[in-house]
Structure 1
Amino acid sequence: MISGFPPSACLLESLLRASAEVASAAVDARFLQSRNISSAARMMSLLSVLFEDIRESKSPLPTSSILCLTELFSVVRRTKSIVEEISSGSALWTLLYAELFSQKLYACSKELGRALDILPVSLLQLSGDSLEQVELVHRQAKRASLFVDPQEVGLREEIIKVMGGSSDCKKVEEIMCRLNLQSMADYQEEVRRLEAEIPKQAGTGGIIAVSNIDRLIAVVTFSMSVIFRCSSGPNKMITAPERAKAASIVFNIPDEFRCPISLDLMRDPVIVASGQTYERGSIKRWIDSGHRACPKSGKKLIHMALIPNYALKSLIDQWCKENNVPLRFRDQDEDSIIAAAAAHAVDHIKVVKTAVEAVRMTAEFLAGKLVTGSPDAQRQATYEVRLLAKTGMDHRQIIAEAGAIPFLVALLSSSDARTQENAVTALLNLSIYENNKKLIMSAGAIDAIVKVLRDGIEMEARENAAATLFSLSAIHECKVAIGSRPEAIEGLVGLLRDGTATGKRDACTALYNLATYAGSKASIVSAGAVPLLVGLLMDDKAGVTDDALSVLAMVCGCAEGVKAIGENKMVVVRILVELIRFGSEKGKENSICVLLKLCRDIGGEEMGKCLLMNPRSVPSLQGLVATGSAKARRKADAVVRLITR
């Protein structure tokens, strides 16, 4: 048995069981992704013949075979996980992300082909049938191409139209039938699966994913309520006039009466700490999923209390009466599902015209205070602009149109610490809007921001200046302009040394962006970044290992970078080997990238000696060859070959 790998008998049993489970899950899967799932199941069935043959031979397996079978097990397990996600998950969610699921299954097929590339068939005592099966699977995997079912794409587009406010009830019913949602139980199960998707997506997709799921739930419940009368038996159809009544209620609800998250007519409006109003159930679910910021404004919630908005509730009640909307549609009785569900299936909430004008007037007033106000007024105005620019893309555009950017740039040289910090942070928030980046650059901001980066009164101002340079460097011409200023790179390198953990991370990300421009790499090295970056690799308190590695991998692209890293190659090799063993996926890829570059540019023999002097090098590299990402495996294999040669 190889250290770190399971016994061959256990490995074969796991392979057989996993491949059988893929085939079983494929049988149970619904029609979505049917071609891709069938292809995966067919290849797994063919491979099971190979696994059976190896198990029955009972011959000891060579080391290379165990490594390859371990890689095969990893691919089979990933395939099984994806197939199960499709077969047991929400049909609507799978449909909405049809391309993503197709790409996942395609990636598994290509991984399978690469694993079979290195299968040492000649060392295994296989029957003729098994050899033919392996060759067949190998050919199929190598020929695999990305397939996205055009019918699923078309159906997905129809769903998106419904999510955007389509009022064609008959079309909704047809879509649900095509998704095999026919009985009340089918609809209820789909809602349950969508609700189960919320905690999975809340941490990664945020409000966008949660809002999409909410609207999908609305589509299903709306369809269910329109097709069935829930209070009169599980499958009783409602009449055409009742359908029309439900639809007419849906599309006349004022935007300000809808919850920004669910887009539903609010029944129990509550105010959160940021001052925004939401439906109680929607915002509670948002908070319960771990979020601590207002979904609409992005402000951090200083408390989690939900305060009833009685004034808005009264207005909604009055609107219902004036528009002959039965109040029972807003209550928890037998008919509430019709209006509540249908209200979800409307277009995104629009910015009310009066609110836009109010923001515009505020931005113009603040811009005036920035240039004509007293020092105290300027400090307050920069703070207000900083907050306003944090609350959304529309506000960032309005502030720029009000002409505030040149005045903020001028205040970067303020002798007041708070004014300087607010001004640079306001520019950071404004730079998130793509069109503002060029406006900030045109206002001559780069030199002023660099000065704050190097000589800012407070560390927070210096760190936010680094974050601003990172944001601006997303545009190539800004990147070139910043990278051509040695003082900018020196300021970022100084922050690597003196900044807080947040500042060091901001400096790393800014340096990484600048290093993507070839002309900046040598400047980063000459500014003394390499020793600081190497030191940050093992600094647990800073927590910027992956960011520092990314910059090192970039500066390896120039001769100066390789030379600087190689000056202390024994220490660097030891650190990189540890990161290959215990680092993140991204960290492993960058570590092996740096190692390979050192081997090729410094010399395979010299680097080979350094690696072989570390007893953990070879096992770590072999482990990466077996279990790393495709990119990491390729580079690790090249390093192993260099050492061997």
Structure 2
Amino acid sequence: MISSWMRRRAARHAGKKREQDENSGMELTIPNDFRCPISLDLMKDPVTLSTGTTFDRESIETWIEAGNHCCPITKQALTTLEPIPNHVIRKMIQDWCVDNQSYGIERIPTPRIPVSSLDVSEMLSKVMAAKQVEDGEGCRVLVAKMKALAKESERNRRCIVRNGTASVLSATFEAFAKASFGDEIIQVLEEILSALTLMFPLDGDAKSHLGSTASLHCMVWLLKCGDLSVRRNAVLALKEVLSSDHQQKVECLAQIEGAMEALVKLIKEPICPTTTKASLMAIYYMVSSSSLANRKAMARFVEMGLVSLLLEILVDSERSISEKALGVLDGLCSCEEGRENAYLHALTMPVLVKKILRVSDLATEFSVSILWKLSKIEKREEEEGVDVLVEALQVGAFQKLLLLLQVGCGERTKEKATELLKLLNQLHRDRTGGLRLRCTEARLGPQFLFRCTFDSPN
């Protein structure tokens, strides 16, 4: 009995295979009503405009987001930019797909209805109401819902961002940051930061709320005490806040206890490359100014061993991290403590020379700038200066700088490279039979050609 059943099943499979083989040679025509007028492909999510024409959602939303406010077929002005799902056409397309499965057509899934501007406005109104009565749990649930919708599709994320969600959530974060800390408050703060990371870059209003003293204190606390994902979100938010008009916020952040230590810890004990880059950028903003507060921050970072840590990272790191680490090191070398630490480290010269013309133009600029800054302190102590110049010469700095000038670089970098070559020239003459370096410029069309040659002193 079992064997007869197996024979019948095998016969059915054989019949289906023959049918598919017969159909494979036939061309299937998609009904015109099921094609999108824009893409001419089978519609997966048919929607109808106010003019009555039906399109695939992705195609017509791309058309509208390009700034077109008329129907691409009828050219009539749209009374609303929100397309309406056409469930009738969608069901007909699904039935057609099922009927033609033998041709290899798969049934299109029922699409989820995307979030609308009205939906977002209603949720934001509820968030603001929850903020007014300090309903942390209610606010957390709403924020989690918006975050889930933003993750569902890029279309949803753009709609949520476009309706001012980042500003409202940042204001809510600031309000709860001023409240007494408790488990409920901490959870809503963590949820808001997690949602905000999906909405970068933030607008000025959102950055203003996140850059307030209360918000910064809260983010530093989360950076120190949160789990891995919370710390990641906190450092990403800090980097975003400091990215524009950051001087006042940088000074405020530098005064918060434990802030600098937490940032350095993320580099020393990395969570992921994203957090490492964000932490390096936040530190870069803190050391890239010559203000008194920033100089104190530089000295504190040097005390924490950041110079040595950066040099170790630079030995073998990818381009983006190398650029950011060199930027931070360049900032630290603006202070005496930073230069001294870099001068004493055995990796400094080999790493910096290696990065010239090896990683990127930006990395080259930072490397030359650091070498130039180190050369400034050595003039005060001639004996030490000779040691550093000898080391630079030994690891190939002279040849690299010559090549840099011949290849071309920015004006400021060229000036620093030329000055470094002059400092190295005295030692180089001893190794080239008394030849002196002569640098000249010649105009070649709209560009300058930089030439370096050696002349006999006689």
TM normalised by structure 2 equals 0.60
Among 329, 342, 352, which residue is 1:576 paired with? 352
CA contact (8 A) 1:585 1:628 kept: no
Query: Residues 386-465 of structure 1: matches in 2 within 5 Å?
Result: 386=147, 387=150, 391-396=160-165, 399=168, 403=172, 405-407=174-176, 414=183, 421-427=190-196, 429=199, 432-442=202-212, 444-456=214-226, 458-465=227-234
What is the one-letter code of the residue matched to 1:461?
V
Listed one character per residue, the Cα deviations across residues 40-81 of structure 1 (whole Å, up to 9, x for unaligned) are xxxxxxxxxxxxxxxxxxxxxxxxxxxxxxxxxxxxxxxxxx
SS in 1 for 2:334: coil
Among 278, 291, 295, which residue is 1:506 paired with? 278
Matched, 1:268 2:36: yes
- CA shift at 1:420, angstroms? 5.2
The answer for the alignment partner of 1:24 in structure 2 is none
What is the one-letter code of the residue matched to 2:338?
G
CA contact (8 A) 1:580 1:592 kept: yes
SS in 2 for 1:308: coil
Q: Percent identity?
A: 19
The answer for the alignment partner of 1:149 in structure 2 is none
- CA shift at 1:379, angstroms? 4.2
The answer for the alignment partner of 2:267 in structure 1 is 496
Among 349, 366, 380, which residue is 1:590 paired with? 366
- CA shift at 1:571, angstroms? 1.4
Change (3 A) 1:439 1:523: same
Change (3 A) 1:342 1:637: farther
What is the one-letter code of the residue matched to 2:52?
D
Change (3 A) 1:590 1:373: same
What is the one-letter code of the residue matched to 2:334?
G
The answer for the alignment partner of 2:423 in structure 1 is 642
Distance 2:289 2:419 in 1: 27
- CA shift at 1:602, angstroms? 2.9
What is the one-letter code of the residue matched to 1:588?
T
Distance 1:480 1:312 in 2: 53
CA contact (8 A) 2:177 2:214 kept: no
Matched, 1:567 2:338: no
Among 327, 330, 344, which residue is 1:553 paired with? 330
Listed one character per residue, the Cα deviations across residues 436-470 of structure 1 (whole Å, up to 9, x for unaligned) are 222233471111100111121x2121122112112
Query: Residues 53-452 of structure 1: matches in 2 within 5 Å?
Result: 268=36, 280=39, 308-312=44-48, 316-317=51-52, 340=72, 356-369=117-130, 375=137, 377=138, 379-386=140-147, 387=150, 391-396=160-165, 399=168, 403=172, 405-407=174-176, 414=183, 421-427=190-196, 429=199, 432-442=202-212, 444-452=214-222
Listed one character per residue, the Cα deviations across residues 133-191 of structure 1 (whole Å, up to 9, x for unaligned) are xxxxxxxxxxxxxxxxxxxxxxxxxxxxxxxxxxxxxxxxxxxxxxxxxxxxxxxxxxx
- Tell me which moved more, 362-371 or 590-599: 362-371
Q: Considering fraction of residues, name the structure with more helix.
A: 1
- CA shift at 1:512, angstroms? 0.8
Matched, 1:471 2:256: no
The answer for the alignment partner of 1:608 in structure 2 is 389
SS in 2 for 1:317: coil
Change (3 A) 1:410 1:626: farther
CA contact (8 A) 1:367 1:407 kept: no
Change (3 A) 1:628 1:480: same
- CA shift at 1:491, angstroms? 1.0
Change (3 A) 1:416 1:556: same
CA contact (8 A) 1:496 1:508 kept: yes
Distance 1:592 1:526 in 2: 24
SS in 1 for 2:315: coil
Matched, 1:629 2:409: yes
Q: Please, which runs of 5 or more residues in structure 2 have no aligned partner? A: 1-34, 56-69, 84-114, 151-155, 380-384, 427-458
Distance 1:606 1:440 in 2: 48
Distance 2:281 2:44 in 1: 43
Distance 1:510 1:486 in 2: 16
- CA shift at 1:637, angstroms? 1.7
Distance 2:268 2:319 in 1: 11
**Greater relative contact order (Cα < 8 A, sep 6+):** 1
Q: Considering fraction of residues, name the structure with more strand.
A: 2
Q: CA RMSD in A?
A: 3.9
Change (3 A) 1:602 1:465: farther
The answer for the alignment partner of 2:67 in structure 1 is none
SS in 1 for 2:356: helix
- CA shift at 1:605, angstroms? 2.2
Among 612, 617, 627, which residue is 2:397 paired with? 617
- CA shift at 1:409, angstroms? 6.7
Count of matched residue positions in the alignment of Structure 1 and Structure 2: 322
Listed one character per residue, the Cα deviations across residues 91-126 of structure 1 (whole Å, up to 9, x for unaligned) are xxxxxxxxxxxxxxxxxxxxxxxxxxxxxxxxxxxx
Distance 2:224 2:286 in 1: 17
Change (3 A) 1:381 1:591: same
Change (3 A) 1:478 1:563: same
- CA shift at 1:584, angstroms? 0.9
Distance 2:408 2:180 in 1: 50
SS in 1 for 2:164: helix
Listed one character per residue, the Cα deviations across residues 365-413 of structure 1 (whole Å, up to 9, x for unaligned) are 13445666575x5543332355488742532366259856413675986
Distance 2:322 2:173 in 1: 38
Change (3 A) 1:489 1:373: same
CA contact (8 A) 1:466 1:506 kept: yes
SS in 1 for 2:163: helix
Distance 1:364 1:582 in 2: 53
- State which structure, 1 or 2, has the greater radius of gyration over its C-alpha atoms: 2
Distance 2:387 2:48 in 1: 74
CA contact (8 A) 1:479 1:514 kept: yes
The answer for the alignment partner of 2:310 in structure 1 is 533
Distance 1:422 1:411 in 2: 17
TM normalised by structure 1 equals 0.44
Change (3 A) 1:442 1:594: closer
SS in 2 for 1:582: coil
Q: Please, which runs of 5 or more residues in structure 1 have no aligned partner? A: 1-266, 270-278, 285-305, 321-337
